[in-house]
Amino acid sequence: FYMAIVAPSLLAADFLHLQHEVEMVNQSEADWLHLDVMDGQFVPNISFGPMVIEFVKKVTTKTCDVHLMIEEPSRYFEQFKKAGADHINIHIETCPRLHQDIQQIKAMGLKAGVAINPHNPASLLSDIIADVDIVLVMSVNPGFGGQQFIPNTLNKIREIKKLIREKGSSALINIDGGVTLGNAAEIVAAGADVLVAGSTVFGSKDPLGAIRELKKL
Ligand code: DX5
Ligand code: ZN
């Protein structure tokens, strides 16, 4: 069987007991910790910024996968690097100079990801895919945890996989939104390398068990 990379999303954690939640992830078989930054502009919700990530970084032993759902994200690359980001994912929808922004993230020594909203086709990635380390495929409209997986994402994963082969890219395909123990196997079968999971992990009575199940498909 194929071992997916699993990235619990802290958005669904209990923020009153953040240290406990981060330590739970440390104890788990998860690979990355997914950190959702929202500005109330690009998405309707406001979450947290570099300050919270800086505290999380003191405790976590996992790779910090930062997902910037903010307008003009390049204004904050330096701050997120300082806070402890290992990966910075930026949206194609917020970056008119995406190529330049991706190069900037990589020049800082971080892995660069491009995130793409559900309505945008895989073909939009054709001239950037060879330059990125990660494609973050949104399988819900960004802004909130606990939403339903959009089924067309499975076709999009297959198309992106094909594009990666055609362009000689080494990008990982990461799926974000509505990933459950029920649909994870077909998402991985479609070609996903990484699974983000918020409510499936933190909403579970047995979060360690949920992470283990996502790993072992
Ligand atoms: C949504 C965020 C996701 C979110 C996923 O805008 O990008 O990372 O936390 O939450 P679940 O897994 O509950 O759909
Ligand atoms: Zn996310």
The domain spanning residue 211 has which CATH number?
3.20.20.70
Nearest alpha carbon, ligand 1 atom 7: 142
Q: Which one from 65, 101, 176, 193 is the annotated catalytic residue?
A: 176
- The structural domain count of the chain equals 1
pLDDT (mean) for 193-205: 98
Active-site residue 14, yes or no? no
Q: Which residue, chain included where needed, has tokens 């699974």?
A: 195
- Whether residue 36 lies in the annotated active site: yes
> Residue 217 has what pLDDT?
79
Mutate to test the pocket of ligand 1, among 36, 174, 204 (most ligand atoms within 8 A of CB): 36
**CA 195 to CA 50: how far, in whole Å?**
23
Measured from the Cα of 197, ligand 1's closest atom is: 12
What integer pLDDT is reported at residue 141 of this predicted model? 98
Ligand 1 mean position, distance from CA 7 (Å): 11
ipTM over 0.95: yes
Q: What is the pLDDT of residues 129-161, one digit of tens each?
A: 999 999 999 999 999 999 999 999 999 999 999
How many C-alpha atoms does 148 have within 13 Å on its Cβ side?
3
User: Is 209 annotated as a binding-site member?
Assistant: no
Confidence of residue 191 (pLDDT cuts 50, 70, 90): very high
Is the Cβ–Cβ distance between 145 and 198 less than 8 Å? yes
Report which bound ligand comes closest to the CA of 139: 1
Full domain range(s) for residue 77: 5-215
Distance 177 CA to ligand 1 centre (A): 4
Sheet (strand 63-69) strand order? 5-8, 194-197, 172-176, 134-138, 111-116, 87-91, 63-69, 32-38
Encode pLDDT of 62-74 as tens digits: 999 999 999 999 9
Q: Which residues line ligand 1 (CB under 6 A)?
A: 9, 11-12, 34, 36, 67, 140, 142-143, 145-147, 176-179, 196-200
